[in-house]
A and B are shown apart, each in its own frame.
Chain A
């Protein structure tokens, strides 16, 4: 059985699909944009700052997080509405995002990512010279 499982992972890696994709939760996000930046909020309850992994590879932004186990392991579960699994979600980001200036912060289980726009795509005000 273990062998088969390992096989699956290699297969996923070969085909370019991240093995983390399987058996993970998709965190809900809010994304809004203003003139200077794009801001992303993701709900990651149970995740401490150290268990969060953000990765930017070319045009893909990957969010991977492991929540700390919250359920009492010695007790029997009555309801489980929220399964304790890892979180994973990936986004495609465009050329207009300045990758060097991306900032991330984590408060109360919510991840805030600020993706500033590159100077060249920001709207410019043109001064009109009177002559």
Chain B
């Protein structure tokens, strides 16, 4: 089954099945009223699919998505009734306006924590409503815009409910296939990474803010499409049509069906989309029911109905494509990495002071020191996860101080974290592909590169498993693999040996040696001497944020200051 899911044709199975099922609906019912409801459901599916990309995949909360639907609706309504435009011309305009507005809201908010975007998007429908009601001379205010012309195809006005159903289905097909393929591609991996762990995503070279803004605008444009198609059928729109309640209903349908699966949203709309119809007499109870439903689902079953079905990855190992094995070529006269004068204070405490060292290509350099010496902080400063107070970080002669983590990752500086930060919603293989995709190229390239890394780490057997299904060592290897798949010139490893048995440490050491032999430089922070001592070419010793020794393993262990730092004063002769 998995193998089928990974072929190009097999990948389309889900959306095609959905479309086929929806295509037979008009054949099963001749009732125009029911067909009308089904058409409305199709429109909501379009909107919810767009919302799923934003909320389910990227994890960004737009609470006022109805406003983007309304933008599309009003654009179509006003351009056709006031300016005599054709509906077909009005639709793309509506989509563009929605995208623009989305970008305007996104730019200030997407740099910040999620709740800022949530609040801003919650306010937007209210704002839009105010603008419509306030500008009633041109907008029709609360009475709305009437007599909106229907769409015409080849001179035939689309009046027949069945015809319109199929028109909307055609648009849905385009949207569904587009979105599905995007989400099953490497972009989908990146979005899931952003959702799960933005810091890890940045370490994989993902430009988080730009990606988030991109999906937000895409999502808004799709919503506007739904709105336009709605008014050309119903021929009426007013201020309250796509208000806050509608926006929240979209979220509830998506959450109930299951976020982040695309088909989950479809199921959610079909199942819950009937609720407003059924509750027409008790319309005022709608918000209560939806609100309680939302709260209950998020508390007890946040992955919704789709969560009951395990996701099958469309990425799988493929036979080798002879991709280049060598680390990215960084020419420099001098050391590959040069750190000088790096400094960091937290409040009254100096974590790292005046750190200066260098690393050559094809060298394994370890940083050790007693607890609290500043080793992890030093690593975070070099990788860019933490901004330094002072100092310079040069990779192959290029200065990176002050530049963000994802830029450093893209320049060839890979890193792993102390507690293996894998993306929990991606399989082992997908995690590695995510690392490989930083280098661009085609999907096959990334999969090929990832396959090389997968096999060299011996992870072939667990390629399709999720991180919570594998053991600690396998998780650690996967994270290392994800960093190595980008063929970094230099990789920073933060306590990779933590929690490993002696045998596992030996295996890890072999992996690192092989990597070093390929020309990759490795900077290792750890305190497990069984790994550090046999493996390192040179060792830097830190104590209380300052460096106290720098040399090869035997000279470092013999160094009196080092013994003193670890064991205490007077232990020099122990």
> Does A pair with B?
no
Taking Cβ atoms with an 8 Å cutoff, the residues of A that contact B are none
